[in-house]
Chain A
């Protein structure tokens, strides 16, 4: 057999098993080829040293979101100035925690307000800090709603699952495992419904009404996946909600109630529906979302917001705290309807939301880049026992 070519020797250095048996057998017996191989290998090692560069760690999901934001703006647009942020977002909670949100009646009053829909998206949270707000606190943020429309490029889709394992399979998260011995009495034998929400993404492009430092920039949010386990009779809840005619309106209309009178009525209807349905408890887990920007930075957005007239001191403080080094997430809580305080759950700080209207309670915490929530028409102590038993 002929001696190995330089090319074959070079490949032998990189991929020794790519050569056929006969070629390798020749090499093993041929001193001349082995000597030449030494030189080839030395050159390869030298080239490796020359070509060395610091490794580039990448975030493909975030990069894909940036690219999609760009393609939606059209061909020939400017190269994106990359800004990748991670944070929590209320909107996925609307999907992933739908049942829990209905139970505690928060969606109608916080998540769909300008503050809930926008401020908390660009953030790096490690813990949640409740901020008690009055309806009037949001007045100064009215203008923000006209700066651009949120467009979901992949809408959150709730998928029912037959088991925790199936929900985990859909969401790619670890299966929710509850210590059933910790379940409150009324839920011990209750049916369990599982669901998952896959990854979704949305973007908002600031229009000409936005301040100049934001105009033209696109924020893209990649959220999810999430999964939930809901304990209780959901059929009965649905029937109760239908007869009261309030739960759907509160969660689906997309606007907060505009007066304390109508909000009170909605709360009464939700409470009636939940009372008729019996105990309900929802457990949810969601992967922290990613937010990317084609131009505007967090500082730009904060400056633009803080420049709006009429902001209350509470909202002003919440905006300023967004990039707090401790990664605290300001969670807007409707003043007078929900009492919030800090609790320890799973060895981290969490927030317990106990409402004083009799609707129920919730515990929310962030750990290992995931947002967790347990909510239901049970006591806070019972919720904490469940939250700490999750594994």
Chain B
């Protein structure tokens, strides 16, 4: 019997419905983008469900702008979500508990949690476009994909990204010095 290196890695049969095809192609990226902001896979998947649900309601899956729309919506939805302090605090508490249960060094847990909290806080203080370009690029999207999501040419992405990285560094330094 043939061994299956990825027993769960189902390769969907063709032809698929246009929306199914779009979903299968983009779901991983949308979750990655949301996860980059939220640092929580379950919440990132919830955001992805919301994003695809909204797209399904309002747009055609064959639309050429579909991937860019999804990526942009993932960033904005995630940033809006993280701006709700109570939600964030609950998530951090759960995150800490999970890590405590996993038997990690408590000091490391605290440091990682604090670092992530500071980065997320900094992201919420950055201009939305700066936070978006950081999130999209560090989620693995290409310059072309990032440009499409932000409505700029790929040639401008480097400039936006460079400025956003500098802004993030300043925000982090400012937060540390306070």
- The 8 Å CB contact of A47, one of B12, B32, B48, B165, is B165
A1 interface contact, C-beta 8 A: no
For B41, list chain A residues within 8 Å (CB): 54, 56-58
Chain A residues within 8 Å of chain B by Cβ, number:
55
Q: Are A58 and B7 in contact (CB under 8 A)?
A: no
A26 at the interface (CB under 8 A from B): no
Whether A56 and B12, one on each chain, are in contact in the complex, defined by CB atoms closer than 8 angstroms, is no
Listed residue (B45, B154, B163, B172) with the most chain A CB atoms within 10 angstroms of its CB: B45
Contact residues in B for A372 (Cβ distance below 8 Å): 1
With a CB–CB cut-off of 8 A, which chain A residues contact B162? 6-7, 9-10, 40, 43
Please tell me if the beta carbons of A79 and B46 are within 8 angstroms of each other in the complex: yes
Q: How does the 8 Å CB contact mask read for A31-51 relative to B, with 1 for contact and 0 for none?
A: 000000000100110111011
B157 within 8 A of A: yes
- For A71, the chain B residues whose CB sits under 8 A away are 53, 56
Q: Is there an interface contact between A63 and B27, defined as CB atoms closer than 8 Å? A: yes
- How many chain-B residues does the 8 Å CB contact rule pick out? 56
Contact present for A368 and B143 (CB under 8 Å)? no
- B115 nearest CB across to chain A (Å): 8
Return the contact of B49 from the options A51, A67, A391 (Cβ within 8 A). Answer: A67
Contact A82-B28, Cβ < 8 Å, known A7-B162, A51-B134, A368-B7: no
Q: Determine if B23 and A60 form an interchain contact, defined as CB atoms under 8 angstroms apart.
A: yes
B177 beta carbon closer than 8 Å to chain A? no
With A58-B45, A71-B56 already in contact, the answer to whether A53 and B36 are too (CB < 8 A) is yes
A135 CB within 8 Å of chain B = no
A-B CB contact pairs (8 Å), 19 listed: A7-B157, A7-B160, A10-B158, A15-B142, A15-B143, A43-B169, A46-B169, A47-B165, A47-B169, A50-B168, A56-B35, A56-B45, A60-B24, A63-B49, A64-B20, A70-B49, A170-B13, A288-B7, A369-B7
Question: What are the 5 A-B residue pairs with the smallest beta carbon separation, nearest first?
Answer: A7-B159, A369-B7, A7-B158, A11-B158, A56-B41
Given contacts A71-B56, A82-B42, A199-B13, 6 further A-B contacts (CB under 8 A): A6-B159, A63-B49, A67-B56, A71-B53, A198-B13, A199-B10
